[in-house]
């Protein structure tokens, strides 16, 4: 009984993770500039990978296997977090300016005055 | 084979061919290099599918990691844009058409004959001599006992490449990245323990399961290149470390040759290891080889002789 | 499945050979050589898989081959970089 439940939960988590991957990839293709694309990649894909790994860990036969799955997620989190920072700071050094929000929206929400 | 496996293989092969095409025929250098790196990552997946996990590990660490770093560094050094006149001797168009057509014909012929090619079929023989090699994993046994001469010469080739690269001049300066990136030292500091732990685990595993000196050396070398990128290996550039650095570089080859000579003295054949000490000696050679492969990968990445 | 990947390897071989002599740029040539090496490795490993089991000898050849490929790539890239730098120096002197 628990076996079936765990399996079903694992499949569900994998499916949800795949949806996040899809969203992240869509963002990578559709977002306007490099910073927004990095955002899509790191946030959506890392969450997707986390769900995928937990889904697989739930179906794993041994505890050590599940721990390895989670280790994969942890390592990718570290690498992609720092990698994204590196890409963004290199782009910034190279003079790529983040795309600004259009003026109309900025008028609606004025910046808070400095104290 | 299930439908899921079929579709996965189809996707994998399609991606491989597309990335290979992009890497080969993309005019912009940067794009070609990035596609090539992705191609190597997919190759690692293909190795997993073909149940060759040790090749997959080496491919992921060397093909996608170290080769990618080498190519990107070279890219930063080359003049930008597609090179004009980089290759002054161009073929006459007729010859090029002829060459392309003949390549297409030979590819078609290769595809036609590939399923009928005889397989090497040495699995049985290897199985028969496995008890006499001192290790339980066939790949390690072939690598370090049965066909040890190939491995010895391979390390020699790698050392020759290091000698060639270092003989061209001093290390290229400044080492990339030219800009100061605060995240890079943090990344390599976080990953240092793992870059030591994983190769050790792989080395230990090599005697009975996929693993061994090559994947371990590749992973360690990839970590070393990351350290070079973060500019954390200043000792490689210092004058009084040069002698030790060179000693470490040749240590794998030297120990291998010593073991071979020992085999010559004890059994009368170069590189044949007596069963009693086989496990111990293979382990020692593997450790020295992993260290020197890693160091040689780092030495290649310097693109020149350090300490000048 | 082996036949399937062997076909892929053969296709990659053909593509890499054509790419090798279509390329005018030295870096592209090095890339093409690397793709060719990968294709040959793939062919070797697919040939090693039979019904009776996997033959470890081609595996070992591929493992050593990967390391040799990265060494030759590094040497070729170093030569390319030096060649470009030498040419730039000569043009500056003129």
Assign residue C16 the CATH number of its domain: 1.10.287.3510
Range of the domain at A64: 2-108
Q: Is residue A115 part of a domain?
A: no
**Exposed, middle or buried: residue A64 (CB in 10 Å: 0-12, 13-18, 19+)?**
exposed
Range of the domain at C58: 2-93
Q: How far apart are CA C28 and CA A54, in angstroms?
A: 41
Q: Is residue A114 part of a domain?
A: no
Q: Do B71 and C27 touch (CB under 8 A)?
A: yes
Q: Is residue A8 part of a domain?
A: yes
Q: How far apart are CA A29 and CA A17, in angstroms?
A: 19
Q: Do A90 and B181 touch (CB under 8 A)?
A: yes
**Exposed, middle or buried: residue B67 (CB in 10 Å: 0-12, 13-18, 19+)?**
buried
What torsion do the CA atoms of A29, A34, A39, A45 make, to the nearest 10 degrees? 50
Asked if residue B85 has pLDDT above 50, the reply is: no
C56: nearest CB among B100, B139, B218: B139
> Do the two chains A and B touch, given a threshold of 8 Å on CB pairs and at least 3 pairs?
yes
What is the gyration radius of the CA atoms in chain C, in angstroms?
18
Asked if residue C50 has pLDDT above 70, the reply is: yes
Q: Are B251 and B299 in contact (CB under 8 A)?
A: no
The residue ranking higher by pLDDT, B308 or B139, is B139
Q: Given this model, what pLDDT does residue A115 score?
A: 43
Q: How far apart are CA B302 and CA C31, in angstroms?
A: 20
Instruction: Give the least confident one: B76-80, B109-113, B137-141.
Output: B76-80
Q: Do A89 and B177 touch (CB under 8 A)?
A: no
Phi then psi dihedrals of residue C17, to 5 deg: -65, -45
Output the average pLDDT for chain A: 83
Percent of chain B scoring above 90 in pLDDT: 28
Work out how many domains chain C is built from and give that number.
1
- Residue B10 Cα distances to B4, B16, C8, angstroms: 10, 10, 10
Which residues 34-63 of C have a C-beta within 8 angstroms of B? 34-35, 38-39, 41-43, 45-50, 52-63
The ipTM value here is 0.94
Q: Given this model, what pLDDT does residue A70 score?
A: 92
Asked if residue B256 has pLDDT above 70, the reply is: yes
Q: Do A78 and B187 touch (CB under 8 A)?
A: yes
Give the model confidence (pLDDT) of B210-227 as tens digits: 888 888 999 999 888 888
Mean local confidence (pLDDT), B167-178: 71
Contacts of B253 (CB under 8 A, 6+ apart): B152, B155, B156, B159, B292
Output the average pLDDT for chain B: 85
The residue ranking higher by pLDDT, B8 or C94, is B8
Residue with tokens 């983040």: A98
Mean local confidence (pLDDT), C9-20: 92
Q: Do B100 and C41 touch (CB under 8 A)?
A: no
**Which residue from A minimizes the CA distance to B195?**
A75
Q: Is residue A60 part of a domain?
A: yes
A50: helix, strand or coil: helix
Q: How far apart are CA C39 and CA C20, in angstroms?
A: 13
Percent of chain B scoring above 70 in pLDDT: 93
Q: Given this model, what pLDDT does residue B88 score?
A: 52
Mean local confidence (pLDDT), C58-71: 91
Q: Given this model, what pLDDT does residue C68 score?
A: 93
Mean local confidence (pLDDT), B288-293: 91
Asked if residue B170 has pLDDT above 90, the reply is: no
Q: Do C55 and B106 touch (CB under 8 A)?
A: no
Q: How far apart are CA B67 and CA C41, in angstroms?
A: 16
Mean local confidence (pLDDT), B103-112: 90
Provide the shortest C-alpha distance from residue C93 to chain B (in Å): 17
Neighbouring chains of C at 3+ CB pairs under 8 Å are B
Residues of chain A with pLDDT under 70: 101-115
Whole-structure pTM value: 0.88
Provide the shortest C-alpha distance from residue B204 to chain C (in Å): 18
Which residues 54-93 of A have a C-beta within 8 angstroms of B? 75, 78-79, 82-83, 85-86, 89-90, 93
Residue B213 corresponds to which tokens in the numbers above?
């000196």
Q: Given this model, what pLDDT does residue C54 score?
A: 76
Q: What is the largest CA-CA distance in chain A?
A: 61
Q: Say how far residue C82 (Cα) sits from the centre of its chain.
A: 21
Q: Do B194 and A90 touch (CB under 8 A)?
A: no
């Amino acid at each position: 009984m628990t076996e079936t439940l765990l399996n079903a939960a694992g499949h569900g988590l994998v499916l949800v993770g795949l949806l996040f991957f899809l969203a992240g990839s869509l963002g990578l293709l559709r977002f306007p500039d490099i910073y927004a694309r990095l955002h899509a990649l790191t946030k959506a894909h890392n969450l997707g990978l986390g769900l995928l790994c937990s889904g697989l860990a739930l179906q794993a036969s041994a505890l050590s296997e599940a721990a390895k799955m989670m280790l994969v997620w942890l390592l990718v989190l570290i690498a992609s977090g720092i990698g994204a920072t590196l890409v963004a700071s290199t782009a910034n050094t190279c003079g790529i300016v983040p795309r600004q929000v259009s003026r109309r929206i900025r008028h609606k929400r004025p910046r808070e005055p400095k104290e | 084979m299930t439908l899921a496996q079929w579709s996965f293989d189809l996707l994998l092969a399609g991606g491989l061919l597309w990335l290979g095409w992009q890497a080969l025929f993309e005019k912009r250098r940067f794009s070609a290099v990035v596609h090539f790196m992705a191609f190597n990552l997919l190759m690692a997946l293909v190795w997993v599918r073909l149940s060759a996990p040790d090749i997959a590990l080496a491919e992921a660490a060397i093909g996608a990691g170290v080769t990618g770093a080498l190519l990107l560094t070279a890219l930063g050094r080359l003049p930008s844009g597609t090179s004009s006149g980089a290759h002054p001797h161009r073929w006459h168009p007729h010859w090029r058409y002829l060459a392309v057509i003949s390549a297409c014909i030979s590819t078609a012929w290769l595809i036609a004959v590939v399923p009928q090619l005889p397989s090497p079929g040495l699995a049985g023989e290897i199985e028969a001599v496995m008890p006499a090699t001192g290790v339980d994993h066939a790949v390690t046994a072939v690598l370090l006992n049965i066909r040890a001469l190939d491995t010895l010469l391979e390390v020699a080739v790698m050392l020759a490449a290091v000698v060639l690269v270092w003989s061209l001049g001093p290390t290229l300066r400044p080492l990339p990245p030219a800009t100061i990136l605060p995240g890079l030292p943090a990344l390599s500091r976080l990953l240092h323990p793992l870059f030591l732990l994983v190769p050790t685990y792989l080395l230990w595993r090599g005697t009975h399961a996929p693993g061994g000196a090559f994947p371990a050396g590749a992973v360690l070398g990839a970590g070393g290149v990351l350290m070079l990128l973060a500019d954390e290996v200043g000792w490689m550039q210092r004058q009084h470390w040069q002698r030790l650095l060179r000693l470490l570089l040749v240590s794998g080859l030297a120990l291998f040759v010593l073991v071979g000579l020992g085999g010559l003295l004890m059994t009368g054949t170069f590189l044949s290891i007596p069963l009693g000490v086989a496990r111990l000696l293979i382990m020692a050679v593997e450790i020295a080889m992993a260290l020197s492969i890693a160091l040689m990968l780092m030495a290649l990445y310097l693109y020149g002789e350090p300490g000048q | 499945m082996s036949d399937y990947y062997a076909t892929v390897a053969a296709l990659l071989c053909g593509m890499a050979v054509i790419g090798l002599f279509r390329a005018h740029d030295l870096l592209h040539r090095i890339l093409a050589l690397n793709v060719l090496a990968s294709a040959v490795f793939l062919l070797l490993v697919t040939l090693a898989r039979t019904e009776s089991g996997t033959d470890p000898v081609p595996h070992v050849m591929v493992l050593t081959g990967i390391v040799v490929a990265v060494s030759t790539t590094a040497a070729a890239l170093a030569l390319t970089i030096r060649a470009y730098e030498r040419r730039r120096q000569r043009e500056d002197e003129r």
